[in-house]
Structure 1
Amino acid sequence: MPKLDLAKAPVKTGSLYPAPYAGQMAGRSSIRLGDLAGLTQFGVNIVTLEPGAVASLRHWHLNEDEFGMVLEGELILVEDEGETVMRPGDCAAWKAGVANGHRFVNRSDAPTRFLIVGSKATEEVATYSDVDMKLHIAGDKARFTYQDGSDWAGPRDLAPKGERNG
């Protein structure tokens, strides 16, 4: 395959998440390099986060490995163990099936960029650590449930764990 032309890569904004979580992803966009190349076994994206934006809800994958590398700016990696400052060249990886909810947050006053690479399992479950929700993927179909497996009908509690009053 010839050199990829980044200007021709699809750009994704918005989120697959249902409301109100989709709205929390404002300020995030991703250049879909894997899609541009026609890759089917893993995804490769360059994600841009505007100041104050988050990359995702804190989550972990049952069947997919994930790798992230900061390209530009300063990000905060939020995991079960706490927070880590990440700068250009810093990398993190998450093995499939390890319950360590993670996400990147841009708390700086400048846009940031990071590379994210993940496997594309034909069946996947993403568990969200701070909200009562799971994502189930089978082929090209996505379905949300509560943690107990019942059909998702909206948030039961909007305040993420650790941020509830009282």
Structure 2
Amino acid sequence: MPKIDIASAPQSAGTAYPEEYAAPCKPRRRARLGDAAGLDQFGVNLLRLPAGAWSSQRHWHSAEDEFVWILEGEVVLVENGGETALKAGDCAGFKAGVADGHKIENRSGRDALLLEVGSRRPGQDSADYPDIDMVFPAGADRYFHRDGSPYPKHDRRT
């Protein structure tokens, strides 16, 4: 396996969330390491969360497992059952189909660095955002309101 040059890996920033839900996730930055390696079974991202940023809106996936490992800094994992502080060396996993929404918030005064790993099941996976009026149905190309009406489509990342 060839070495991956993190600095040359595809980069993404921001979010494709509808504007009313985007602000806390706009500062996030990802190096798409799995894409750099040509992986298609699962994704691997190096996620940088500046102070105050969130990894996502609180959500859960129907068909994709997720795993995060905190490499630097301190963050707060928010789930149905409450909040858990995570520091460098800690990790957490989220099983597909378990309706326990999660997000990670950086409430500290410095950047946090996380390794994200997740299944890739396009066309099979849906995501539910339990705290807000938003879902991402399997096979969709945009977010929808819970009543089935679509949000405007826009670029996933800046």
CA distance in 1, matches of 2:54, 2:151: 24
Q: Counterpart of 1:136?
A: 137
Q: Counterpart of 2:64?
A: 64
Shift in Å at residue 25 of structure 1? 1.2
Shift in Å at residue 153 of structure 1? 4.2
Contact 2:27/2:49 (<8 A) preserved:
yes
- TM-score, structure 2 as length reference: 0.90
Q: Which ranges of structure 2 fall in alignment gaps of 5 or more residues? A: 153-158
Contact 1:52/1:106 (<8 A) preserved:
yes
Contact 1:75/1:104 (<8 A) preserved:
yes
Farther-moved stretch of structure 1 (116-125 vs 56-65): 116-125
CA distance in 2, matches of 1:87, 1:47: 15
Shift in Å at residue 26 of structure 1? 2.4
Matched, 1:152 2:150: yes
Q: Counterpart of 2:93?
A: 93
**Superposition map of 1:2-151 within 5 A:** 2-123=2-123, 124-138=125-139, 142-148=141-147, 150-151=148-149
Q: Counterpart of 2:156?
A: none
Distance 1:70 1:147, change over 3 A: same
Shift in Å at residue 143 of structure 1? 2.5
Contact 1:133/1:152 (<8 A) preserved:
no
Shift in Å at residue 31 of structure 1? 0.8
Q: Counterpart of 1:158?
A: none
CA distance in 1, matches of 2:27, 2:128: 23
Shift in Å at residue 102 of structure 1? 0.2
Shift in Å at residue 152 of structure 1? 2.7
Deviations 1:90-140 (A, max 9, x none): 1110110000100100000010011110000022110001101101242xx
Contact 2:61/2:96 (<8 A) preserved:
yes
1:147 counterpart letter in structure 2: R
CA distance in 2, matches of 1:76, 1:40: 29
Question: How many percent of aligned residue pairs carry the same amino acid?
Answer: 48
1:128 counterpart letter in structure 2: Y
Contact 2:18/2:151 (<8 A) preserved:
no
Residues matched between the structures, number: 151
CA distance in 2, matches of 1:2, 1:71: 22
Question: Bigger radius of gyration, 1 or 2?
Answer: 1
Q: Which ranges of structure 1 fall in alignment gaps of 5 or more residues? A: 155-166
**Runs of 4+ residues over 4 Å off in structure 1:** none
